[in-house]
Structure 1
Amino acid sequence: VKAGSWGARTVEKIVRMTDIALRDNLPIFWLIDSAGARITDQVELFPGRRGAGRIFYNQVRLSGKVPQICCLFGPSAAGGAYIPAFCDIVIMVEGNASMYLGSPRMAEMVIGEKATLEETGGARMHCSVSGCGDNLAIDDEDAIDQAKAYFTYLPSYWRDQPPSYAPEPPARELTANVVPAEETMGYDMHTVIECLVDAESFFEVKPLFAPELIIGFGLMDGSPVGFVANNPMVKGGVLFTDTADKAARFIWNCDA
């Protein structure tokens, strides 16, 4: 319907939804495929206490209180690109999802540089270069499945306890040779994590961005835990600016 674009009533509905989430401490799943704000409605859409800015204000107030999970199926253009940016995790469908303030055509008009939509705001670019995206999905169904899986590790509200599950033995046994005795030998930290978590329970976040660091959720004896682990197989597991940012943002989510 109208390419999912925003009008004044669209903003009213979104603001009302976020108000209810604030009042009742409800998590939010954002399912986005939008052409952005309609030019004909912009005069009514942005100004005022109940304008589009209220959406972002409410998202900030919700941050750390309830999970905000975003599935990006198609474009999220202009002001709509801020919604994913305020979420705890952004799952983008490869080949379809995009997130940008200005289109490639606008960029060419302003700075004279030609670029494709994928280069300026595509799913793989955001998940591997900018870090604005967290996980790639192969299609809409996969994105929803990942969002549901991520949510299973979290409480619905920050004062609640995380969920617990029946414990499972790890898929791999922790033996002395999992970590090489020689300090100069590299190894894949994913193998160590498999020895610690309940079988098939590790959910990695941002696997393509700063891969020298592994972050994600897993279960240990049925209880959710967060993992932050250097990966010696990638750049020796050395910390860079993006690595530190990746770790810090994940720890903030764990501490919410």
Structure 2
Amino acid sequence: MAAPTRDQALSLLATANNHGDLAVKTSSLKQAKDLLLSIDHSLAADLFPYLLELQSSPESLVRKLLIQIIEEIGFRAVEHSPTLISVLLTFLRDSDVIVVKQSIVSGTNIFGSVFEELIVQFQQNGKVERWLEDTWISMLKFKDAVFGIAVEPGSVGIKLLALKFLEMFVLLFASDISDSEKLATKGGRQAFNVLWLVGGHPHPILDPVVLMSEGNRTLGILLNLLQSVGTLPGCLTITVVNW
């Protein structure tokens, strides 16, 4: 079987962008994703602008699939990660609930992965590569937007996922969350927590005091929500009380 080529991936992306049939568009996009994962990283990165044209697709299923692909391939061409993540931020304001939900889900997963990579790079090399700094800055913008969704009126389904993001953020950064077994029960990256950074020389974007302050502030947001559970819809009340 011939090796996958850039031209094949480009052709599939063109079909995903231009074909009138939704089934053909999604099938082509899934095939393009497989090719992007299999070809050389630099060749895949060259095709990202064509991939990102899909963010203006009128079909919400295509936009949702684009988010899933961004989550899957985002770290294959690291210098493009901030651009890819900025799409997730844009989709938080999408008109379709399923697109917003997918953006929060994928963004939550990416946030944890980026923080993990930050710790690994800093502990192994004593520094963080520029692309990762830029990616982290993009993720902090995403975090601020999701926090707004969590506390403002809106779709219950979206707010539930925003609260899950806050939960993950507290587990990563609140100074009181130091029990690794407790972290393990959440099914997350239990080995990675801001406390790993305590005692070393702080990096400008990895100052544990600042990060723990943010984590504790987020815990305060959740406690404030707990005080108002009587005014929340049932499923939100259950989520907050479980917290």
Name the TM-score class by shorter chain: 0.3 to 0.5
The structure richer in helix per residue is 2
Scaled by the length of structure 1, what TM-score is found?
0.31
